[in-house]
């Protein structure tokens, strides 16, 4: 069996892995794991990742999950998987530059990203979709607080990492840009456009969209951009009881 990627395209890290593999022509077998249906709790998936998280890379007998210490069944960071794919398939150098200082800048950003972007921007999906799906309303003060956190994070992002550059690290797109893009696209798809009033960030997004072809963009982002319509039509699956318990715990932890 060749390379297998276990993904749910509602997940930001999963989309980053999917786009990266597709854009670089890396052959893989897509194993869709629908989190809303609780497929991450199935016996079959538990044999792949006992912590019930995606994305997961399986390359023969080698499995890479990069699972954090959290007990929650939420998507995890994809950086280890992207690094593995970059090195094994020898993709274009701009994705994960061989220059030590440039590569270190990517690591610097990815470390900051985990605490300041990933932990904040993913909350929008919980507020707009996941909580209502199981009959929970996130208090308005938490919604406002999360938007304040997002605004502060974007200010730091622009001042520290982006500046006046076309991309986060130098003059070409890297895996850091791809991971950031997917986090920022998520609230946009859910009705909160984080690019409004931020011309430098909007220009950065334009550079990446121009780099990705339209077909790949639509394939990767169709599920997340259609999710509010599915909510309105009540066509989204209601998570099974074994998933709802962990979801309630995650919702309770929204600051």
Domain edges within the chain: 3-88, 100-252
Residue 113: partners with Cβ closer than 8 Å, 6 or more residues away: 77, 176, 179, 180, 183
Buried b (16+ CB within 10 A) or exposed e, 180-201: bbbbbbbbbbbebebbeebeeb
Q: What is the largest CA-CA distance in the chain?
A: 50
pLDDT range class, residue 77, cuts 50, 70, 90: low
Between 71-75, 89-93, 140-144, the lowest mean confidence (pLDDT) is in 71-75
H/E element, 72: none
What is residue 131's predicted lDDT score, i.e. its pLDDT? 96
Token duo for residue 94: 């701009």
- Per-residue pLDDT reduced to its tens digit, 228-248: 999 999 999 999 998 898 899
Rounded Cα gap, residues 125 and 110, in angstroms:
21
What is residue 246's predicted lDDT score, i.e. its pLDDT? 86
Region 62-91: what's the mean pLDDT?
A: 75
Q: What percent of the chain has pLDDT over 70?
A: 95
What is the CATH code for 100-252?
1.20.1050.10
Rounded Cα gap, residues 189 and 154, in angstroms:
17
Work out the burial of residue 145: count CB atoms within 10 Å of its CB; fewer than 13 is exposed, 13-18 middle, 19 or more buried.
Answer: middle
Token duo for residue 160: 């520290």
Q: What percent of the chain has pLDDT over 90?
A: 88
Q: CA torsion sign, 197 to 198 to 200 to 204?
A: negative
Rounded Cα gap, residues 58 and 183, in angstroms:
24
Token duo for residue 239: 């998570």
Q: What is the DSSP letter of 158?
A: I
What is residue 130's predicted lDDT score, i.e. its pLDDT? 95
Region 196-216: what's the mean pLDDT?
A: 95
3 state SS of 59: strand
Decide if pLDDT at 3 tops 70: yes
Decide if pLDDT at 1 tops 90: no
Decide if pLDDT at 73 tops 50: no
Decide if pLDDT at 72 tops 60: no
Work out the burial of residue 64: count CB atoms within 10 Å of its CB; fewer than 13 is exposed, 13-18 middle, 19 or more buried.
Answer: middle
What CATH number does domain 3-88 carry, 3.10.20.30, 3.40.50.300, 3.40.30.10, 2.60.40.3080?
Answer: 3.40.30.10
What is residue 154's predicted lDDT score, i.e. its pLDDT? 98
Decide if pLDDT at 52 tops 60: yes
Q: How many residues does the chain have?
A: 255
């Amino acid at each position: 069996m060749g390379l297998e990627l276990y993904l749910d395209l509602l997940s930001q890290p999963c989309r980053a892995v999917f786009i990266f593999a597709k854009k670089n022509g890396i052959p893989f077998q897509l194993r869709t794991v629908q989190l809303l249906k609780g497929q991450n709790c199935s016996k079959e998936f538990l044999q792949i990742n006992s912590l019930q998280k995606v994305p997961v890379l399986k390359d023969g007998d080698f499995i890479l999950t990069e699972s954090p210490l959290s007990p929650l069944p939420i998507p995890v960071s994809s950086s280890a998987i992207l690094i593995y794919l970059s090195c094994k398939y020898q993709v274009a150098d701009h994705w994960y530059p061989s220059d030590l200082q440039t590569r270190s800048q990517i690591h610097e950003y990815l470390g900051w990203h985990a605490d300041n972007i990933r932990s904040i921007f993913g909350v929008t999906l919980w507020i707009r979709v996941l909580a209502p799906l199981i009959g929970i309303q996130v208090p308005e003060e938490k919604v406002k607080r999360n938007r304040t956190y997002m605004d502060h994070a974007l200010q730091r992002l622009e001042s520290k990492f982006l500046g006046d550059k076309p991309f986060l690290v130098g003059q070409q797109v890297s895996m850091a840009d791809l991971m950031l893009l997917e986090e920022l696209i998520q609230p946009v798809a859910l009705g909160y456009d984080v690019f409004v009033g931020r011309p430098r960030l909007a220009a950065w997004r334009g550079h990446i969209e121009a780099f990705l072809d339209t077909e790949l963009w639509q394939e990767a982002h169709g599920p997340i951009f259609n999710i509010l319509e599915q909510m309105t039509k009540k066509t989204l699956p209601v998570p099974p009881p074994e998933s709802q318990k962990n979801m309630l715990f995650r919702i309770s932890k929204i600051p």
